[in-house]
Amino acid sequence: MKTLKPALSGQIADADIRLLRIFRNVVERGGFAAAEADLNISRAAISTAMADLEQRLSLRLCQRGRSGFSLTEEGREVYAYSLQLLSALEDFRTQVNSLHAHLKGELNIGITDNLVTMPKMYITDAIGAIKARGPEVMINIRMTPPAEIEVAVLDGRLHLGVVPVIKALPGLNYLPLYSETSQLYCSHSNALFGKEAVTDAELSHMDVVAAAYAQTEEALKHYQSLYVSATATDREGIAFLILTGRYLGFLPTHYAERWVKEGRMQAIAPSQRQFTTDFAAITRKGKRPNLILETYLELLQNTIQAKD
């Protein structure tokens, strides 16, 4: 029986890495036109590069045309593999630079949405500190759901993540950061606005928006006695529905504060209808030495100690 020759034969050259970087940018920007400015090359050159990569891999990576840009199943897998490869190359560069104790390279951080309004700006201040120490450090922040951040840290696509601690994973290290309080809110156009005392019977007839992402057991218990008729994948979506006046919903107090001060939101029974969520910085256990990450973790711990 004849043995099939692998489609990707020979060594991976600089030209292949260049094509993969173009491919990554096109995927993350959602198409050729959006990637044109980032890459500083023409759309025709991007199209040629994509065709060259598909020929090199003997795979159809994407559909493009009047209907828009979309990845094929093979394209999605190649994109995931390319992120791992490019991350490994960046780790190599960072490690070589660390021999010279010179901070130069990338720091890839994944953050859960709407933490920028946290009063204790541990992550923000530590980023400022590492940028002051290493001006050539490239900071890349991705705002993605907690589960995606955990996976990306585990497989090396992200160096560090900031997530709520729902269930600790054995492959991750956890550095405690924040304890966030969430309360039940209504908008100024809701019938409960302005009421000092709200009964459970009144609440049972109100529509509530629930989070469509993982929650602590404490948070889930609060929804059991409420009428959940909508969901949202992030806190901004919850805020949108609360502000319609038709829904109640739980929001972090630091995030809702702007609307409370404007008189557009009010906490309902805050002493009873509230819960706390702990957040932590996560890194992969058994990670290879990385001077930039180690420096950032040191600065982050120093920032926490200085503010507490």
CA 241 to chain centre: 22
pLDDT surpasses 90 at 187? yes
Q: What angle do CA 166, 168, 174 make, to 5 degrees?
A: 105
One domain, residues 117 and 71: no
Q: Write down the pLDDT at residue 267.
A: 96
Q: What are the distances in angstroms from CA 69 to CA 34, 38, 54, 79?
A: 11, 17, 15, 14
Q: Write down the pLDDT at residue 251.
A: 96
One domain, residues 110 and 230: no
91 pLDDT band (50/70/90 cuts)?
Answer: confident
One domain, residues 265 and 190: yes
**Residue 269 domain-assigned?**
yes
Distance CA 21, CA 61 (A): 14
pLDDT surpasses 60 at 100? no
pLDDT surpasses 90 at 183? yes
**Residue 209 domain-assigned?**
yes
**Residue 144 domain-assigned?**
yes
- Within 10 angstroms of residue 277's Cβ, the number of other Cβ atoms is 18
Q: Which long-range contacts (CB under 8 A, 24 or more apart) does 11-14 make?
A: 12/85
pLDDT digits (tens, 9 = 90+) for 269-304: 998 999 999 999 999 998 676 889 999 999 999 999
**Residue 86 domain-assigned?**
no
> Residue for token digits 């038709």?
246
One domain, residues 167 and 187: no
Domain extent for 235:
179-278
Distance CA 265, CA 240 (A): 12
**Residue 92 domain-assigned?**
no
pLDDT digits (tens, 9 = 90+) for 35-76: 888 888 898 899 899 899 998 898 999 887 777 788 999 999
Provide the token pair at 19. 């094509």
Please provide the average confidence, as pLDDT, over all residues in the chain: 88
Distance CA 247, CA 259 (A): 15
Q: Write down the pLDDT at residue 101.
A: 60
One domain, residues 139 and 287: yes
116 in Cβ contact with 124 (< 8 Å): yes
Q: Write down the pLDDT at residue 204.
A: 87
pLDDT digits (tens, 9 = 90+) for 148-166: 999 999 998 999 999 999 9
Domain count, the chain: 3
> Residue for token digits 């060259």?
52
pLDDT digits (tens, 9 = 90+) for 251-266: 999 999 999 999 999 9
**Residue 2 domain-assigned?**
no
DSSP, collapsed to helix, strand or coil, labels residue 278 as strand
Kind plus residue range of the DSSP H or E element containing 248: strand 248-252
**Residue 167 domain-assigned?**
yes
DSSP, collapsed to helix, strand or coil, labels residue 250 as strand
One domain, residues 73 and 222: no
pLDDT digits (tens, 9 = 90+) for 116-134: 888 788 999 999 999 998 8
**Residue 4 domain-assigned?**
no
One domain, residues 267 and 147: no
Q: Write down the pLDDT at residue 123.
A: 92
- CATH number (domain holding residue 44): 1.10.10.10
One domain, residues 172 and 283: yes
The pTM (predicted TM-score) of the whole model is 0.67
One domain, residues 23 and 141: no
One domain, residues 299 and 272: no
> Residue for token digits 């173009």?
22
In one letter, which amino acid is 14? D
pLDDT surpasses 70 at 3? no
- CATH number (domain holding residue 106): 3.40.190.10
One domain, residues 149 and 68: no
pLDDT surpasses 90 at 240? yes
